[in-house]
Amino acid sequence: YSFSDVLAYRFYLAFFSKRRKEIQNKFSFLWKGRSVCENCSRSLLAIDLIPIFSYWLRKGKCRYCDGVIAKRHFYGELASFLLGIFLCLFSSYPLITTSLFFILSIFLSWLDAKMQQIPVFAILLLVIVSVLEVVISHSYFGIFDISFLARLIQPLAWFVIFYILAKVKPGSMGEGDAPVVFAYLLSFPVKVQLFFIPLASTLGILFYLIFLKGEETKDKGKKTAIPFVPFLSLSFWILRVLAQIIVDS
């Protein structure tokens, strides 16, 4: 989680933030250099970067400036740890694609939540990882294999629906959502695919009702854009945990 979070944050700084002109070697900036405090920009020591424990030991504050560290870091690391334990013990998904899915889902969700934009290269990587997992897990080496074609129907249908919505009604749906939906859906068996969009939509609606509706009621002219990729990613991981139960039911 920490790696994906830092990668997304640095990518945003290098290519989209007001500081982007100050960063000369953008690609080197993504990989090199120590992590820093988001409040005081001091370089952090190894003891400050131990997932979960560093946050707990420092009571959620920076050792240098005493600034508050965002709780999302702690909860993200805790959720990642629990998810990793579950998938290692009970999941039959390939470790390599699971790891790549995790990195990309955090990366895409972070950027979509921050600026409602998704880099094309990250979407292409997500699609490649999804196809790779299908090949590794199910040995679908023949493109005309009937089971593979059946697996393609829902991803293609939802891709077309999301793309048309983005074109016909701009702002209602981002164009980047369509290929993300396709990639996530393709990784699931047909039976599990049925639950993906309803679950992601339900999560998005609940988020709006709990966190945003009250603010819009107070400020009647306020309209808040809700990024959909974070809810697609959350739905993806929930169904990845429950996939075997759904298939066997």
Residues 1-19 pLDDT 10s: 777 888 888 888 888 788 7
Residues 54-107 pLDDT 10s: 888 888 888 889 888 888 788 888 888 888 888 777 777 888 899 899 999 999
Residue 164 Cα distances to 13, 186, 241, angstroms: 31, 19, 31
- Specify the length of the chain in residues: 249
16 CB neighbour count, 10 Å cutoff: 14
pTM of the model: 0.84
Q: What is the pLDDT of residue 144?
A: 46
Q: What is the C-alpha separation between 235 and 197, in angstroms, rounded?
A: 8
Q: Does the pLDDT value for residue 247 go beyond 50?
A: yes
Q: Percent helix, strand and coil across the chain, each rounded to 5?
A: 70, 0, 25
Residues 6+ apart with CB under 8 A from 108: 118, 122, 123, 126, 180, 229, 233
Compute the half-sphere exposure of residue 197: CA atoms within 13 Å on the CB side of its CA. Answer: 17
